[in-house]
Chain A
Amino acid sequence: MTSVATAVPATARRTGDARNAAVVTGMSAVTAIGVGLEEYWRNLLAGACGIRPITRFDTTGYPLRVAGEIPDFDSARVPSRLVVQTDRWTHFGLLAGELALAHAGVDPAELPEYELSVHTASGSGGNEFGQRELQALWAEGPSRVGVYQSIAWFYAATTGQLSIRHGMKGWSGVLVAEQAGGLDVVAQARRSLAQGSAVVLTGATEAALNPAAFTSQIAGGMLSPVGEYLPFDEAAGGYLPGEGGAMFVVEPAERAVARAARPYGVVAGHAATFDPAPGRGRPPGLRRAVETALADAGVAPSDVDVVFADAHGHPSADAAEARVLTEVFGPRGVPVTTTKAATGRLVAGSAALDVVTALLAMRDGVIPPMVNVRRPAFEIDLVLGRPRPAALRTALVLARGYPGFNAALVLRAAAQN
């Protein structure tokens, strides 16, 4: 066990110093296969699939009627004062944030409020709330638009509500980069620690199962026309959307050690890239993101024990990701899995959920399987059928977002006390 430095000035903190490494000390998950960390993890390992008929709106006339909907989400778990003034995505975020802080054993009320930060990612914002108010506007007139429309739809709403609820007044913000934002925000949390934050609540949730958001995803042309999400499978034909995500608590390693908190893993490396415009003849940016993130973490491809893939599910996107994985790691060079076939694709929520899932996999020494996939179409080592026991020290999480975002995040097991 390393010695504990308790009086390092905030300005002296550097991310490269092991004592000041960003460690995750608390996690939560809100998904179609479980609300709550352990319920989600147990169901994921058991091969549960949360793809089911959509009940949140009448899907008559829509080309697709299934998604990773969270059944019977209990909004009574969110303060009623906040339920009426926020979107469903913020309800998920408020619950996930509260659960993550509790899991970390962090009570914000006991800490200096300006050293507590909230950084979330959001790809969809408050579509459901916004649609309801716009319908009232056009059907009944401006006097029927509720005042909370002014704040509920906005991407930063979840960060703001978490900040207010827990008195976390340090540097806070929101990142919008579709799926990739859920990894980029973890890098933002690491930056926040380097700038002096003591604790950062970070992650992403989404609730895009409403007509406005669903229609925009249909218009994107990448949804499965037959209601099956089979990434990397010969039968892959597109993705299915879902709702939910994850939040987690990040703090400096020295702080976690000083308060005897369990570190689930270290945020070791990150990179974000953007694809060149179509027709430029240059390759997409995913490989550069992977290599740059590995370099940032100071690890070689051979050190990586598992990859949580973007696993888009559209054949062309799967081919592009599989190519990067075989180029960097060699054919079948590293186990590859995804949570998305079980939960649906959650915009930024999936990337955050994959961070949590990778840390749980390290904790328990087991890689969760991807559900439903039977016929792998590429030379990559997919974890199928049942959980795969493995000693995991280093995990790579990937995310790609429309229209060209790429992000890679390297997580390492924390040194055990």
Chain B
Amino acid sequence: MQPTEFTLTDLVEIMRSCAGVDEGVDLAGDIGDTPFVELGYDSLAVLAFQARIQERTGVPMPDDTVTHMPTPNAAVEFVNRQIQAGVR
């Protein structure tokens, strides 16, 4: 059963479980518009998030998707746009 919506909470859970959390970063805080790199996640970590997002939502996430998602909010918006456009 594929979800009809992807939320920031879903993304934070993925971030936490597949890449851990840097010291001094609070993922429960207001991090939606903070760039991934400032949250301590390098490009490898963002690639890891993409693989898990694709697994969970069915939205294809080719490697160049990384350019569409500099921040958590941007990533959530991108995924939801793809879901609404029927790209699965």
Contact = CB atoms under 8 A, between A and B. Distances in A.
Interface in A145-180: 146-148, 150-151
B79 to A, nearest CB: 17
A80 interface: yes
A84 B18 contact: yes
Interface in B10-62: 18-23, 40, 44-45, 47-48, 51, 54-55
Contacts of B40: 81
Contact of B19 (A81, A143, A150): A81
A146 B48 contact: yes
Contacts of A151: 44
Contacts of A85: 19-20, 44-45
A81 B48 contact: no
Contacts of B54: 143
Chain B binding site: helix, strand, loop or mixed by DSSP? helix
A111 B48 CA distance: 34
A49 to B, nearest CB: 35
A147 B20 contact: no
Contacts of B19: 81, 84-85
Interface residues on A, range: 10 to 19
A146 B48 CA distance: 7
B22 A148 contact: no
Nearest to B50: A147
A208 B54 CA distance: 34
Given A143-B51, A147-B51, A79 B18 contact: no
A84 B20 CA distance: 6
Contact of A79 (B20, B44, B45, B51): B20
A147 B14 CA distance: 14
Contacts of B48: 146-148
Contact of A82 (B20, B47, B51): B20
B22 A146 contact: no
B23 to A, nearest CB: 6
Interface string A81-119: 111110000000000000000000000000000000000
A83 B45 CA distance: 13
A148 B21 contact: no
B88 to A, nearest CB: 15
Contacts of A143: 51, 54-55
The 8 closest A-B pairs by CB, nearest first: A80-B20, A81-B20, A147-B48, A84-B20, A147-B47, A81-B22, A147-B44, A80-B21
17 contacts: A79-B20, A79-B23, A80-B21, A81-B19, A81-B20, A81-B21, A81-B22, A81-B40, A84-B18, A84-B20, A143-B55, A146-B48, A146-B51, A147-B51, A148-B44, A148-B48, A150-B44
Interface of B: 18-23, 40, 44-45, 47-48, 51, 54-55
Interface of A: 79-85, 143, 146-148, 150-151
